[in-house]
Amino acid sequence: MKATPDRTIDLLKRTGALLEGHFRLSSGRHSDRYCQCAKLLEHPAYAEEVGESLAGLFRKQGIDVVVAPALGGIIIGHEVARALGARSIFAERQDGTMTLRRGFALESGSRVLVVEDVVTTGGSVREVADLARRDGAVVVGFGFILDRSGVTLDLGAPARALARMPLESYEPEECPLCERGLAITKPGSRPDARP
């Protein structure tokens, strides 16, 4: 089955990946909703389905390597790479900077697809793309399960998502949830998000 936008949202709801509350996003912004794609990706059949569907959006791009930011992008990056017959690697933060470790490397001229589970501001995927470009790779696209940005992100290459769900977010000093005194949760994986 192909993960259409409606099917993707249905899978996110069915698996409990769409959460409501008061959340600190990895960008440092606050929101009343959060998408924890790990809840979807913990089901291998669903992970395969969304990975295959996301790969289908880039099949004609001649992808050599799928690069994902750790931690959220690792599983979906692997599934997309498997569907494309490409290598799958991930970048992780070391001393606050996105880095390739564990023996991962990119060859100059390799065609890279950057894959992430959810995009809000594009900060993490921009860092991964910059890293790939510094190594001489060609970033040919960006793929996401869910685009919650609500805007067209300028990432320097085509960006495609299985579903779009603009979710309101606020700078901490302007957050109505903080004003109401609601406790905040930081559910993401990025340890250096601003308070």
Peptide bond into 153 cis (omega under 30): no
Give the count of domains, the chain: 1
Give the pLDDT mean for 87-107: 92
Q: Which helix (H) or strand (E) holds 50?
A: helix 44-56
**For 142-185, what is each residue's pLDDT tens digit?**
999 999 887 888 899 999 999 998 888 899 999 999 999 999 98
**For 33-87, what is each residue's pLDDT tens digit?**
888 999 999 999 999 999 999 999 999 999 999 999 998 899 999 999 999 999 9
Q: Within a domain: residue 184?
A: no
| Angle between helix 74-84 and 44-56 (nearest 10) | 60
Q: Within a domain: residue 175?
A: yes
User: Can you read off the two tokens belonging to residue 153?
Assistant: 């992100």
Q: Within a domain: residue 23?
A: yes
Q: Within a domain: residue 194?
A: no
**Positive/negative CA dihedral, 91, 143, 110, 46:** positive
pLDDT class of 188 with cuts at 50, 70, 90:
low
Residue 81's pLDDT is what? 98
CATH number at residue 43: 3.40.50.2020
Domain extent, residue 76, equals 5-179
Read off the amino acid at residue 122.
G
